[in-house]
């Protein structure tokens, strides 16, 4: 069997700048498992996508995102750009050294660095679906691996990102409290999916390939990223009391059945703001803060992911 070559793409500012400090540890762990690799440190935004796009042509069989969800998203986009060029992209791996590891969780990859390296060494691969979003600041389209948030959770993420000395779950808690204080008006949205259309004021919509957002919130606890479908969770107009109650449910993944929650699955979605604007993220990356129309679709089995054998989130 040909030995696999790994390109490790490390984002040095991931984890509030702590990822770069972990390079010696990463190299020691990779060496201990006799993994053949080269390591590239990104220099600017989108550099990871460019490195991933060109990796197959340089003989790499696995491209590994070393960072958080943002780094994973860039690497995924790079692999999909290679596919757009009619190339067969390398498989994708992840080393969790950033703040958010929701993509890794949904893909069946451990959240700790040592076990991540073990997964690379074992080398199990499986196909994974990829989401594609068109609209907002990306009329040409952008890919995502974990999920899209519209409304409340996007605003929470933007507020959490402003916190310099707090990160992880606590940053999202503080971001949620700030958003509850501001409590923006719910836009009126037309939400079209395979099962029909919904038109109502909505404070929050999640469209998920994975299961979790924000490190703790299970927006689609039954989702699978290998079934050719994207799960949705749509909240109607909420009061502050409703939102506080739902946050507790999201943590448990028990929101289905709540009187103001709709859930389901679809191969694609069309979202239009009939009144107000759309605040949107994909895998934590801002898509727009005042959009009017989005198209989201599931692309079945577009990448191969290196993960635990069985390859499902625990």
* Tens-digit pLDDT profile for residues 5-26: 999 999 999 987 889 999 999 9
> What's the token pair of residue 37?
């690799």
Q: Which of 19-23, 60-64, 174-178 has the lowest mean pLDDT?
A: 174-178
> How large a percentage of the chain has pLDDT more than 90?
81
Task: Report the Cα–Cα distance between both ends of the chain, in Å, rounded.
Answer: 31
The pLDDT tens digits of the residues spanning 72-98 come to 999 999 999 999 999 999 999 999 998
> What's the token pair of residue 208?
């998920």
Confidence at 256, pLDDT banded by 50, 70, 90: very high
Look up residue 257 and give its DSSP letter: T
CA separation for the pair 225, 256 (Å, rounded):
19
Residue 183, classified by CB atoms within 10 Å of its CB into exposed (0-12), middle (13-18) or buried (19+), is: middle
- Which domains does the chain show, CATH number per domain? 6-123 (3.40.50.10330), 133-300 (2.60.200.40)
To 10 degrees, the CA torsion angle through 10, 106, 213, 103?
20
The pLDDT tens digits of the residues spanning 103-113 come to 999 999 999 99
pLDDT mean across residues, the chain: 93
- Phi, psi (5° rounding) for residue 273? -85, 110
For the cut 50, the answer to whether the pLDDT of residue 190 exceeds it is yes
Nearest Cα residue to 107 out of 145, 138, 136, 140: 145
The predicted structure's pLDDT at residue 15: 82
Q: Which residues pair with 288 in a beta bridge?
A: 280
The predicted structure's pLDDT at residue 1: 45
Q: Which of 14-18, 206-210, 236-240 has the lowest mean pLDDT?
A: 14-18
């Amino acid at each position: 069997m040909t030995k696999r070559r790994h390109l490790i793409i490390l984002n040095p500012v991931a984890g509030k700048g702590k990822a770069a400090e972990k390079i010696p540890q990463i190299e020691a762990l990779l060496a201990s498992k006799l993994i053949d690799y080269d390591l590239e440190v990104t220099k600017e935004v989108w550099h990871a996508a460019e490195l991933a796009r060109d990796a197959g042509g340089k003989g790499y069989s696995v491209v590994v995102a070393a960072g958080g969800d943002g780094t994973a998203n860039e690497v995924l986009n790079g692999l999909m750009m290679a596919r757009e060029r009619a190339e067969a992209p390398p498989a994708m791996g992840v080393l969790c050294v950033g703040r958010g590891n929701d993509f890794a969780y949904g893909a069946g990859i451990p959240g700790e660095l040592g076990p991540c390296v073990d997964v690379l060494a074992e080398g199990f691969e499986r196909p994974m679906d990829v989401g594609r979003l068109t609209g907002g600041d990306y009329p040409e389209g952008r890919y995502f691996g974990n999920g899209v948030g519209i409304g409340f959770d996007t605003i929470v993420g933007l507020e959490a990102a402003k916190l310099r000395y707090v990160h992880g779950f606590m940053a999202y808690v503080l971001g949620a409290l700030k958003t509850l204080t501001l409590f923006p008006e719910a836009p009126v949205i037309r939400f079209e999916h395979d099962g029909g259309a919904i038109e109502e004021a909505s404070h929050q919509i999640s469209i998920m390939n994975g299961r979790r957002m924000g490190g703790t919130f299970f927006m689609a606890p039954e989702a699978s990223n290998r079934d050719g479908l994207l799960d949705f969770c749509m909240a109607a107009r909420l009061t502050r009391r409703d939102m506080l109650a739902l946050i507790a449910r999201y943590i448990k993944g028990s929101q289905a059945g709540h009187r103001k929650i709709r859930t389901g699955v679809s191969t694609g979605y069309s979202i239009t703001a009939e009144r107000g604007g759309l605040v949107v993220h994909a895998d934590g990356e801002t898509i727009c803060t005042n959009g009017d129309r989005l198209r989201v679709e599931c692309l079945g089995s577009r990448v191969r992911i290196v993960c635990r054998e069985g390859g499902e989130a625990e």
